[in-house]
């Protein structure tokens, strides 16, 4: 229990540059309080104390604005930043060292039974306001951009963007052989490619190419056009 508590505290200290001390995180951070309460609720849930588990989770929801079903399985080092409006469903599974921003929903579509909610691998980042809906897997080291709506599986190391979300990167851009690593390195939820903008740029380039070709044919005259 104390090892898990330390790992949760370390996760916040490593990934939140605003965190000044472990005492501040322990007493004042709503995300940390929600995760700590969930671990108690989940213990009760697994030991068939379902009513008590729900009581703990609903009390935590009222205090923190974060709703985590006591049946959800959460790994080590989950960091919920700010957290207001986060919802995590009953059959959700979250791996180690994941990060969720405010307004994230790990929910279901309403058409599935049994396993209804997503599974997140290790080191996954879900941006603010993103919705991950359905019983599929978001692979290790994947990122979901802010505001995205994910309805299908996301491969390992991929970046998903848009509504509905599309994978726009896998394993990112080319990096140096031995880049310095830091927990904050992969927490950028803003500077990701927009697939709609990319498609518009491609169409614009194609249109400019055709206009240039048409102009060349007009300048060449009838003989040039026939050739």
Within this chain, do residues 168 and 99 fall inside the same structural domain, yes or no? yes
DSSP-derived secondary structure for 158-195:
EEEETTTTEEEEES-S---SS----TTTT---SS---H
Within this chain, do residues 176 and 198 fall inside the same structural domain, yes or no? no
164-197 residue pLDDT tens: 888 888 876 432 334 455 555 555 555 556 667 6
- Give the confidence band of 103 by pLDDT, cuts at 50, 70, 90: very high
Express as a percent the part of the chain with pLDDT over 70: 85
CA distances from 38 to 66, 126, 186 (A): 10, 19, 26
Within this chain, do residues 225 and 114 fall inside the same structural domain, yes or no? no
45-98 residue pLDDT tens: 999 999 999 999 999 999 999 999 999 999 999 999 988 999 999 999 999 999
Within this chain, do residues 57 and 136 fall inside the same structural domain, yes or no? yes
Within this chain, do residues 48 and 73 fall inside the same structural domain, yes or no? yes
Within this chain, do residues 14 and 105 fall inside the same structural domain, yes or no? yes
Average pLDDT, the chain: 86
- Please give the tally of structural domains in the chain: 2
Domain, as residue range, for 220? 194-227
Q: Which secondary-structure segment (H or E) carries 93?
A: strand 93-94
Within this chain, do residues 101 and 186 fall inside the same structural domain, yes or no? yes
Within this chain, do residues 105 and 27 fall inside the same structural domain, yes or no? yes
This prediction's pTM: 0.73
């Amino acid at each position: 229990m104390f090892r898990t508590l330390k790992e949760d505290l370390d996760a916040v200290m490593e990934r939140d540059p605003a965190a000044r001390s472990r005492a501040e995180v322990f007493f004042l951070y709503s995300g940390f309080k929600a995760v700590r309460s969930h671990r108690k609720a989940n213990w009760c849930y697994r030991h068939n104390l379902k009513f008590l588990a729900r009581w703990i989770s609903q009390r935590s929801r009222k205090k923190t604005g974060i709703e985590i079903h006591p049946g959800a399985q959460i790994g080590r080092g989950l960091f919920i930043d700010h957290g207001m409006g986060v919802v995590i469903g009953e059959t959700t599974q979250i791996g180690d060292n994941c990060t969720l921003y405010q307004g994230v929903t790990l929910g279901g579509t309403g058409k599935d039974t049994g396993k209804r909610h997503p599974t997140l691998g290790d080191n996954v980042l879900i941006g603010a306001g993103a919705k991950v809906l359905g019983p599929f897997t978001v692979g290790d080291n994947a990122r979901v951009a802010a505001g995205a709506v994910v309805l299908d599986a996301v491969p390992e190391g991929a970046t998903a963007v848009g509504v509905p979300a599309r994978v726009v990167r896998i394993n990112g851009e080319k990096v140096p052989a031995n880049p310095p690593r830091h927990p904050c390195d992969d927490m950028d939820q803003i500077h990701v490619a927009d697939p709609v903008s990319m498609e518009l740029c491609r169409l614009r380039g194609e249109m400019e190419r055709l206009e240039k070709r048409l102009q060349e044919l007009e300048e060449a005259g009838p003989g040039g056009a026939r050739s």
